[in-house]
Amino acid sequence: MVEIGVGSVGIVVIVSCFLGAVVTVQTAYQLTTPLISKSIIGSIAANSIILELAPTVTVLILAGKIGSKIASELGTMRISEQIDALEIMGVHSSAYLVLPKILASTLMIPLLVIISAFLSIYSGMWVGEFTGAVSKEDFMTGAIQYWIPFMANFALIKATTFGFIISSVSSYYGYYTEGGALEVGRSATRAVVVCCVLILLFDYILAQLLL
């Protein structure tokens, strides 16, 4: 949990701050007409962040970090016979090694997504203020005015699903690695690619089913 959760806070903070800033600036760039209230910028930015950017874009980046870590860790354990050593001792290696990773990832990724959403919104709000695109008050007015509570639930459902996908897919590729160091690298790459594709696929499926 510490490795997957706390270890990923740094990258989440960096990505989220820039995501929020870019969304605000780009939304403001497109809404140039004086007929539309400036608070709409806050609404669009906050909704985009909560619905899509925090749960999906952040998780895609986490898939690269956590997915490759899990796959390469298990792959190395496999080729260095550490998994065989566990089996010989009578330990159910997949339950011992994989289950905690799935639990940690499924619990910690939603927390990281919550952090990401807050940071993105706040960075968007401050960047709007500094650049003069939208004031803090207008930004927050828009964000609150068009707030639908189900969006938070939806984001958490997505984050939990994606957390499970990242840990289970990368564990599978790592656990069944065969060969040497080259194959460990291949397993890690494959795990990340498959995770990303599945995340995007389930992003669509969940949106279609739940919205």
- Return residues touching another protein (CB under 8 A): 76-77, 80-82, 84-85, 87-91
140's enclosing H/E stretch is helix 136-145
109, 62 Cβ separation under 8 angstroms: yes
Q: Which is nearer to another protein, 84 or 137 (CB)?
A: 84
Q: Which is nearer to another protein, 76 or 168 (CB)?
A: 76
CB of 85 to another protein, least distance (A): 4
Q: Which is nearer to another protein, 80 or 145 (CB)?
A: 80
109, 195 Cβ separation under 8 angstroms: no
What CA–CA distance (Å, rounded) separates 202 from 90? 37
Please choose, from the candidates 10, 24, 43, 31, the residue with its C-alpha nearest in 3D space to the C-alpha of residue 131: 24
CB of 192 to another protein, least distance (A): 22
Q: Which is nearer to another protein, 99 or 205 (CB)?
A: 99
3-class SS of residue 26: helix
CB of 78 to another protein, least distance (A): 11
CB of 64 to another protein, least distance (A): 22
